[in-house]
A and B are shown apart, each in its own frame.
Chain A
Amino acid sequence: DGGITQSPKYLFRKEGQNVTLSCEQNLNHDAMYWYRQDPGQGLRLIYYSQIVNDFQKGDIAEGYSVSREKKESFPLTVTSAQKNPTAFYLCASSIEWGLAATTGELFFGEGSRLTVL
C-alpha cells in the first residue's frame, strides 16, 4: 500500500539535544512538507521541498533543518536552537509535475509527537 511513514511516533528529548524525525513516502510524489501542529492552532509550515536537493523555509523554520537527498525521504531535525519544540509534527506530500498534478491533493503521514523533558 502506498503512503507516508513517519517515525518515531513518540519521541522524548532532553534540552540541548538535536533529534531527527523521519518521513518516507512511496507515492512517487515530488513535493514534501513538514508542518507543526499545536493545540488550538492551525498547521504551520516548517519546511517544504518540491524537488530533490532543494528545499525552502516555511513560516517557522528557525531551529529546524531538513535535507532532501532522495525523492522518497525528507527528514526533519529539531535542533537545540528551537526553544519550544514540544508539538505534534506532520509530514505531507503531493504531486507537483505532470498530468497527475492537476488535482494538487495533499496526503499526510500519521505524525510524530515530540516532548521535551
Chain B
Amino acid sequence: KQEVTQIPAALSVPEGENLVLNCSFTDSAIYNLQWFRQDPGKGLTSLLLIQSSQREQTSGRLNASLDKSSGRSTLYIAASQPGDSATYLCALKNTGNQFYFGTGTSLTVIP
C-alpha cells in the first residue's frame, strides 16, 4: 500500500526566507502528485499538480518537483511571507485511481 510521509510536521521561518517542504512516497506507480494548502478550519486549496511524466511545475513563488525514482517531491516557496502560513499537504493519485494523502507540514512565517 502507498505510504506518504511529510517531514517535518511543523516548520517556523522568518519572513523573506526561501524554504522547501518535503513529501516522500513508497510506490512510484503514481498518476500525479498534487500539493494543497489548508488554512485553519478551511478546505484544501490546490496549489500545483505534477503529472507522472513531468519533473516540475511552477506558479508564482511556488515550485514543485517530482522524482519518482527516489519517491520524493518537494515544494519550494521563495521569499516567504506571513500570508504563506498554513498547512501544506501533498497527495498522490496512483494508477488505480486512488488518492493517498500526507499528514501535512504546518508552516509559520514570522514577520
Number of interface residues of A (CB under 8 A): 23
Of the residues A107, A109, A110, contact of B46 by C-beta under 8 Å: A107
Inter-subunit contact A103/B49 (CB<8 Å): yes
Bin chain B's interface residue count: 20 to 34
Q: Which residues of A contact B103 (CB under 8 A)?
A: 40-42
Inter-subunit contact B101/A42 (CB<8 Å): yes
Within 8 Å of chain B (Cβ to Cβ): is A43? yes
Inter-subunit contact A104/B102 (CB<8 Å): no
Question: Interface code A49-75, partner B: CB below 8 Å = 1, 0 otherwise?
Answer: 000000000000000000000000000
Give residues of chain A (82-117) contacting chain B, Cβ–Cβ below 8 Å.
88, 90, 92, 96, 102-111, 113
B interface, over-half SS: strand
Of the residues B4, B42, B51, contact of A42 by C-beta under 8 Å: B4
A12 to B43, CA, bound (A): 19
Inter-subunit contact B49/A105 (CB<8 Å): yes
Residues of A within 8 A of B (CB): 4, 6, 33, 40-43, 45, 88, 90, 92, 96, 102-111, 113
Q: A42-B102, A108-B45 are in contact. List 10 more A-B contacts (CB 8 A).
A: A4-B43, A42-B4, A42-B101, A103-B51, A104-B32, A104-B49, A104-B93, A106-B99, A107-B46, A113-B41
Give 14 CB contacts A-B under 8 Å.
A4-B43, A41-B103, A42-B102, A43-B89, A43-B91, A43-B101, A88-B41, A90-B43, A103-B32, A105-B34, A106-B34, A106-B46, A107-B46, A108-B44
Return the 10 tightest CB-CB contacts between A and B, nearest first. A108-B44, A108-B43, A110-B43, A43-B101, A42-B101, A42-B103, A111-B43, A104-B93, A104-B32, A105-B49
